[in-house]
Structure 1
Amino acid sequence: MVAYTHFGKQPDVFKHLILCEVLHNEKLQVYVETNSAYAVYTMARTPEQEYGIYHFLNEAIKSSTLKNSLYYQLENENMANGNYLGSPALAMKVLDKNVQEYLFFDLEESALENIESFAMHQTSIPPIKTFNCDSIDGVLKLLPSLPRTTFLHIDPYEIDKRNHNGYTYLDVLINATRLGMKCLLWYGFMTINDKTRLNKYVSEKLKKANIKDYTCSELIMNAIRKDTIVCNPGILGSGILATNLSQYSNAMIQDYSKKLVDIYKYAQYKEFDGSLYNGTNQMLLI
Structure 2
Amino acid sequence: MANHHFGKFADVWKHLTLVEVLALERPSRYAETHSGSGANAMLVDPERRFGVLRFLEIADTTASLGQSRYRALLKQFGDVRSFYPGSALLAMAQLGVSTSYLLCDLDPVSVEDLRAWSARLGITQCEIAQADGMTAVLDWLDDSAGSATPRHVVVHVDPFDPHSRLADGLSALDLAGRLVDEGYGLVYWYGYDSPNEASWAYHSLRETTQGPLWCGDVMLVDETGAGRPGDLGRASTSGTGSGIVLANVSENTRTTCLALGEALASAYSGSTVPDGTRGHVRFSVHERP
TM-score (norm. length: structure 2): 0.87
Q: How far does the alpha carbon of each residue in 1:126-162 deviate from its partner, in whole angstroms, 9 at most, with x for none?
A: 3211111111222233322233222101111433444
Partner in structure 2 of residue 128 of structure 1:
126
Distance 1:185 1:70, change over 3 A: same
Q: State the match for 1:39 in structure 2.
A: 38
Cα displacement (A) at 1:229: 5.0
2:153 to 150, 161, 164: 150
- Range with bigger deviation, 197-206 or 56-65: 197-206
Aligned-pair distance for 1:14? 0.3
Which residue does 1:70 correspond to in 2? 69
Are residues 285 and 118 of structure 1, via their aligned partners in 2, closer, same or farther at CA, if it must alter by over 3 Å?
closer
Q: Which amino acid aligns with 2:180?
A: T
* 1:170 Cα deviation after fit: 2.1
Aligned to 1:238: 242
Report how far residue 46 of structure 1 moved.
1.3
State the shift of 1:44 in Å. Answer: 1.4
Matched letter for residue 265 of structure 1: S
Assess, with a 3 A threshold, how the Cα gap between structure 1 residues 197 and 256 changes in structure 2: closer, same or farther.
closer
Looking at structure 2, the residues matched to 272 and 179 of structure 1 have their Cα atoms a distance apart, in angstroms, of: 44
Cα pair 1:185 1:240 within 8 Å, conserved: yes
Give the aligned partner of residue 225 of structure 1. 227
Which range moved further: 235-244 or 89-98? 235-244
The reply to whether residue 182 of structure 1 matches residue 185 of structure 2 is yes
Aligned to 2:114: 115
Q: Which residue of 2 aligns with 1:19?
A: 18
Residues 196/258 of structure 1: CA separation in 2 closer, same or farther (3 Å cut): closer
Answer yes or no: is the 8 Å Cα contact 1:143–1:176 preserved in 2.
Answer: no
Deviations 1:226-252 (A, max 9, x none): 545598228921111111101100111
Offset from partner CA, 1:20-72 (integer Å, 9 cap, x none): 11111013111101110011111110110000000000011111221121211
Q: 1:107 to 1:225 in 2, by over 3 A?
A: same
Identity of aligned residues (%): 26
* AA in 2 matched with 1:170: L
Distance 1:219 1:248 in 2: 21
Partner of 1:222, secondary structure, is: strand
Q: Secondary structure at the match of 2:159?
A: strand
Letter in 2 for 1:276: V
Query: Does structure 2 conserve the Cα–Cα contact (< 8 Å) formed by 1:160 and 1:201?
Result: no
2:204 is aligned with 1:201: yes
1:94 maps to amino acid = Q
Specify whether residues 50 and 228 from structure 1 end up closer, same or farther in structure 2 by C-alpha distance, changes over 3 A only. Answer: closer
- Structure 1 residue 280 and structure 2 residue 272: aligned? no
How many equivalent residue pairs?
Answer: 277
Q: How far, CA to CA, are the matches of 1:88 and 1:253 in structure 2?
A: 19
Deviation at 1:200, TM superposition (A): 4.2
In 1, Cα distance between equivalents of 2:169 and 2:228:
29
